[in-house]
């Protein structure tokens, strides 16, 4: 159970507020929500007082995933069907993971819905006149799946980022780029 402190309340407010632009501007809003999902590590480091970041982060992810779902449900045709199937598939994996704690399930049920949403929102923003074909959707899904599986592996199986704080990761990148 997550204890509701002022820090947790600020964290939740930040994540919910960052998801809301998606409802009006799907592509830009999705980018804002995903950047905020990454940036919340900096917020957590800055304010402290969050004892179970992973659980709180997963809970707060529902804000932007819910916004993505609301928008995707308004789409039509292939884009909508694929989005809804990907969402349902991921939710099965989320429930299974929460019940068992088995991280391998996150590889078996990757969150391709998130990547699909961003890709379709970008297409609808930049090329609204072009319809998505089954062939294009198939190629996109393969590419998105490979990318998402790599991300899921590094985050949830290898747990690569668990060894860094947000500032520590930035300092490591800075030292690598700067050669110091």
* pLDDT digit string, tens, across residues 124-151: 999 999 989 999 999 999 999 999 998 8
Per the structure, how many domains does the chain have? 1
Joined together, the tokens standing for residue 143 give 């590419």
User: Which residues make Cβ contacts (< 8 Å) with residue 52, sequence separation at least 6?
Assistant: 2
Q: Is residue 83 situated within a structural domain?
A: yes
Taken in order 25, 28, 34, 37, the sign of the CA dihedral is negative
- Is pLDDT above 70 for 9? yes
Q: Is residue 36 situated within a structural domain?
A: yes
- Is pLDDT above 80 for 44? yes
Instruction: Read off the pLDDT of each residue in 105-126 and give the average, rounded to a whole number.
Output: 94
Report pLDDT for 51.
84
Q: Write phi, then psi, for 165 (nearest 5 degrees).
A: -90, 170
Q: Is residue 1 situated within a structural domain?
A: no
The region of weakest confidence among 81-90, 105-114, 156-165, 167-176 is 156-165
Instruction: Read off the pLDDT of each residue in 158-179 and give the average, rounded to a whole number.
Output: 68
- In angstroms, the CA 26 to CA 163 distance is 33
In which domain, by residue range, is 23 found? 6-178
pTM of the model: 0.85
Instruction: Name the residue with tokens 């407010």.
Output: 13
Q: For helices 6-19 and 26-47, give the axis angle rounded to 10 degrees.
A: 170
Q: Is residue 22 situated within a structural domain?
A: yes
Q: Is residue 170 situated within a structural domain?
A: yes
User: Which residues make Cβ contacts (< 8 Å) with residue 32, sequence separation at least 6?
Assistant: 18, 21, 22
Q: Is residue 128 situated within a structural domain?
A: yes
In terms of pLDDT, which residue wins out, 47 or 168?
A: 47
């Amino acid at each position: 159970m997550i204890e509701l402190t002022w820090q947790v309340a600020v964290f939740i407010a930040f994540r919910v507020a960052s998801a809301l632009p998606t409802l009006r501007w799907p592509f830009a809003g999705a980018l804002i929500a995903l950047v905020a999902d990454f940036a919340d590590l900096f917020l957590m480091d800055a304010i402290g007082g969050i004892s179970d970041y992973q659980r709180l982060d997963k809970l707060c992810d529902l804000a932007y995933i819910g916004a993505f779902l609301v928008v995707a449900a308004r789409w039509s045709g292939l884009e909508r069907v694929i989005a809804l199937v990907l969402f349902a598939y991921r939710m099965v994996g989320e429930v299974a993971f929460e019940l068992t704690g088995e991280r391998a399930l996150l590889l078996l049920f990757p969150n391709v819905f998130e990547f699909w949403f961003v890709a379709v929102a970008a297409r609808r923003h930049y090329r609204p006149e072009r319809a998505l074909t089954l062939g294009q959707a198939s190629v996109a899904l393969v590419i998105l799946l490979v990318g998402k599986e790599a991300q899921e592996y590094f985050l949830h199986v290898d747990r690569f980022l668990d060894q860094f704080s947000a500032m520590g990761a930035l300092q490591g990148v800075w030292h690598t780029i700067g050669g110091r």
